Amino acid sequence: MPNYLSIDTSAHASVALIDADTGAVIATRTSPKGNDQTETLAGYVRDLMAGHDQQGPELAGIIVGVGPGPFTGLRVGLVAARTFGFVWQVPVHGVMSLHALAERVLELDEVPDEFIVASDARRKEVYWARYNRQGALTDGPHVAAAATLPALPVYGVGAGIYEDALREAGAAPQPESFEWIAESAYLAKHGLKELAAGKDLSNTAPQYLRESDAQVPAFMKQAEAKEATA
């Protein structure tokens, strides 16, 4: 049976092998750290596929998280997915990483009529998006200070990190979700729903939502401007 390889590096390096027919998770692995995507991702993919006799060209496709997330970590997953897709000649499908958090909310016994998922964007900010109880995106994704979020239940690691700021804003951070990050198995669950509904997921452009911390120095910009007008 064909399987999907799912990759997300918007928070931690996370990979999963998913049965394309049933959506069942065959195997998954997620790093406990959030800054080792470059060191761990390729090994995770290799070990996961080798451990289940999965050949790359036999995949049904690759589902990859497009963020939002930090520049370096997010790029690692996207470059890897695109490279694998090119080499193995299989389609690559892009899915917003926050959808993975929303899928976890939908598994709870009680799902609010409206809710927010939030991941850590650093700088005292969160990446966030708003959903209805059916899991449909109604607003976002955005990056903003936690204190500016709507007064709704908030799920995800961002809710834990910025619990006090969210409560002061009238939001309701949900403690059971304080360790939740975007994981590849949940990303694939959402991606398979969208593919089954006929949605085009061919766009794998990263959703950074803000400029990189690494900026071109002013003197280099001036030199480039002089060269362009010379």
Segment 61-75, tens digit of pLDDT: 999 999 999 999 999
Q: Report if residue 17 sits inside a domain.
A: yes
CATH of the domain at 77: 3.30.420.40
Integer Cα distance of 97 and 159 in angstroms: 16
121 shares its domain with 156: yes
10 shares its domain with 76: yes
132 shares its domain with 106: yes
In three-state secondary structure terms, 94 is strand
Q: What is the pLDDT of residue 218?
A: 47
9 shares its domain with 64: yes
Place of tokens 């939002």: 68
Q: What is the pLDDT of residue 1?
A: 61
36 shares its domain with 7: yes
- List the domain range (segments joined by +) for residue 142: 98-177
Q: What is the pLDDT of residue 210?
A: 77
14 shares its domain with 37: yes
Distances (CA, A) of 115 to 59, 84, 92, 100, 176: 34, 35, 29, 14, 14
114 shares its domain with 138: yes
- Tell me the average pLDDT of the chain: 92
Number of domains in the chain: 2
pTM (2 decimals)? Answer: 0.90
In the predicted model, residues of the chain with pLDDT beneath 70 are: 1, 211-230
Distances (CA, A) of 229 to 219, 223, 224: 16, 10, 9
